Structure 1
Amino acid sequence: MGDWTTAQVQDRLELAAGVMRQMPGVMPQGFFNAWPEYFHSFADKVAQEPQMRRPRPSPRQITQAEEAMLWLRWLEKDDARLVWLRANGTPWKPICWELRISRATADRRYQYGLAVIVWRLNGKIPPTTRSMSYVIGRARAG
């Protein structure tokens, strides 16, 4: 892919979070169910709402999700946690309470985290001697 933008990175991280939610739960080794499988008769199913399930993610979606999750390695621990929580759709208030920061600080660190990922994906290393606003502004400018 050519030049990445913060919107593309944000979308990819949100898709990765969605893929991870759709994955089946992990069972411990040796887990089994001794109960026989129950087959519902027609009478059992009468007047019940059908349960719709989303299809399992494709191998390509899983690969892209794993790739996007590896991007979080480029961030500090708390910034990576904040970006992942936002990708999962967690509201700002619980994030601020969990990380013990203000809403403005959370938003600034979220934008900075996305900007660092954009810089790295575009083959550049974000300068550590410059301010957060400089890194964010240059990531948006392309």
Structure 2
Amino acid sequence: MITPREIEDRFEEAALTLKRLPNPPGSGARGYGRSWPEYVHEAKHAYGYDEARMRVVPNVREIQRMEETLEWLALIGGDSEQAIIDNRRIVWMRAEGYRWKQICRAVGCVRSTAWRRWTAALVTIANRLNKRRKTAARPHSAKTTGAAAGGRRRGTGANESP
């Protein structure tokens, strides 16, 4: 059984994983770059003598978990299309670590409303995922054969006659 707290943790993990993904120069949208090269402020930086930055790239499992978590955003509903968008934005901004004041400004509501919508979204995701797991774990009502129904199986062993 998945709890809303576990959903919150997964969204925070997904936001961190997305932040850790490599983003090489030129991989973004076109038209937002500059045609001039970067300006070198000191001579020592022109030859690559600056500090090396360590970047831990996420592994395949972390990326798969992130993609699964991002699909959960589609489970969030609302009264109108704009409410659905705002609810998803609240969940994702909270996962990225934004403060409530920033979230409220972006969405256009007071803190108690934003918190209530965030909590309702997490509960909705948890309920829908739990419902999916129950239906997936429930055996389908297929017709059983004699062996599955408790009958004797014949002709399957080396010593048995067919």
What TM-score comes out, normalization by structure 1 length? 0.69
1:99 is matched with which residue?
Answer: 107
Change (3 A) 1:74 1:51: same
Q: In the TM superposition, what whole-angstrom CA distance separates every residue of 1:112-134 from its partner, at most 9, and x where no partner exists?
A: 0100000011016xxxxxxxxxx
Greater C-alpha radius of gyration: 2
Q: In the TM superposition, what whole-angstrom CA distance separates every residue of 1:12-48 from its partner, at most 9, and x where no partner exists?
A: 100000010111223469xxxxx9xxxx8xx974xx6
Match of 2:119 among 100, 111, 119: 111
For residues 1-142 of structure 1, the aligned pairs below 5 Å read 3-25=1-23, 26-27=27-28, 45=49, 50-75=51-76, 76-123=84-131
User: What SS does the corresponding residue of 1:83 show, helix, strand or coil?
Assistant: helix
Q: Percent identity?
A: 33
Give ranges in structure 1 of 5+ residues lacking alignment: 30-34, 125-142
Partners of 1:71 and 1:94 in 2: CA distance: 23
Aligned residue identity for 1:14: E
Bigger drift between 73-82 and 110-119 goes to 73-82
Partners of 1:77 and 1:70 in 2: CA distance: 14
Cα distance, 1:105 vs structure 2: 0.4
Number of residue pairs matched by the alignment: 112
Give ranges in structure 2 of 5+ residues lacking alignment: 31-36, 38-43, 77-83, 133-162
Cα distance, 1:80 vs structure 2: 0.7
Partners of 2:113 and 2:52 in 1: CA distance: 41
Change (3 A) 1:119 1:28: same
Cα distance, 1:64 vs structure 2: 0.3
Aligned residue identity for 1:89: G
Cα distance, 1:51 vs structure 2: 3.8
Change (3 A) 1:81 1:28: closer
Change (3 A) 1:28 1:78: closer
Change (3 A) 1:52 1:123: same
* Higher RCO, Cα 8 Å, sep 6+: 1
Runs of 4 or more consecutive aligned structure 1 residues displaced over 4 Å after TM superposition: none
What TM-score comes out, normalization by structure 2 length? 0.61
